[in-house]
Amino acid sequence: GTGILSSQPEENPHWWNANMVFIPYCSSDVWSGASSKSEKNEYAFMGALIIQEVIKELVGKGLSTAKVLLLAGSSAGGTGVLLNVDRVAEQLEEMGYQGIQVRGLADSGWFLDNKQYRRTDCVDTITCAPTEAIRRGIRYWNGIVPERCKLQFKEGEEWNCFFGYKIYPTLRCPVFVVQWLFDEAQLTVDNVHLTGQPVQEGQWLYIQNLGRELRNTLKDVTASFAPACLSHEIITRNHWTDIQVKGTSLPRALHCWDRSLHESNKNGKAPLKGCPIHLIDSCPWPHCNPSCPTIRDQFTGQEMNVIQFLMHMGFDVQKMAQQQGLEPSKLLGMLSSGN
């Protein structure tokens, strides 16, 4: 594999020699389903049960002697980590393996149940508002959510537990959250489409506001990495070592997190100096971080630099420079260098 699944130290400096198991996403239920095929329902949705069975099987293949189990996932798999990490820990405890520390790494699965830019009728997964999609899905899949989260909400309101900022405070296991501030999947479900036409001012404001909202939901997340980029998924990409927030790469931040958990297990010490684990970009628009992955024009496939991208987005350099009290050339220089 690539990124965190790579066995090359250059590409995966911290976990290249770990035991890795990749579980393909075949259940389309955000890893939460527990509904078997029946006369009424021709599909089975068994994401939650698949994870349980895999854990059972791995115990006989060496997991029983592990010190740490890191449950990691991207997109639906990222949300799946939040929904399953405590259950996996409980399952191992019940099987008599209290010594295994279970942790989660959730990449691009921290969605917001925010108001869409343009409301559309819920006819498929793309047009459906995030809340409505989950509300319908959970009934269809017979979705399982963790007990501690479920107790926070009224009966029938379990859908809330699919949203990171609502489930995170109820989790017992440590979780590291990786989330682009301008996630493409979030923008898609919010009906913001960045293709072809320059972006209208309303959309541009909506996008900036999305970044602010997301940043807010992460402020109390102990371990997080949130670059101000327009993208989706990162941990299995081979460029995952290149992205930095405040001078720290994601593998480095994960290494710091790992160390901090070892240290706190030993003596409950304060966070390690010079080894940050709470990294959130503060600049306000997509790709204002110069280490963001390259953007391609969705029609031509051509690579765009930050300035070309912002122009394509309808960003008015003159007007913005005026508002900031800067010369346009100075603003362009700042944008290019990511200040």
Sequence-distant (6+) residues with CB within 8 A of 236 are 1, 2, 3, 4, 5, 74
Which string of DSSP letters, residue by residue, matches 268-279? -PPPPTT---EE
Token pair 């913005």 in the structure block, residue: 320
The encoded tokens of residue 150 equal 């479920």
The Cα 95–Cα 332 span in angstroms is 59
Beta strand 101-107 pairing with 175-178: parallel
The answer to whether residues 89 and 72 touch, using CB atoms and an 8 Å cutoff, is no
How many helices (DSSP H) and strands (DSSP E) are in the chain?
11, 11
The answer to whether residues 14 and 251 touch, using CB atoms and an 8 Å cutoff, is yes
Sequence-distant (6+) residues with CB within 8 A of 203 are 117, 192
The Cα 339–Cα 326 span in angstroms is 13
Catalytic residue positions?
75, 183, 232
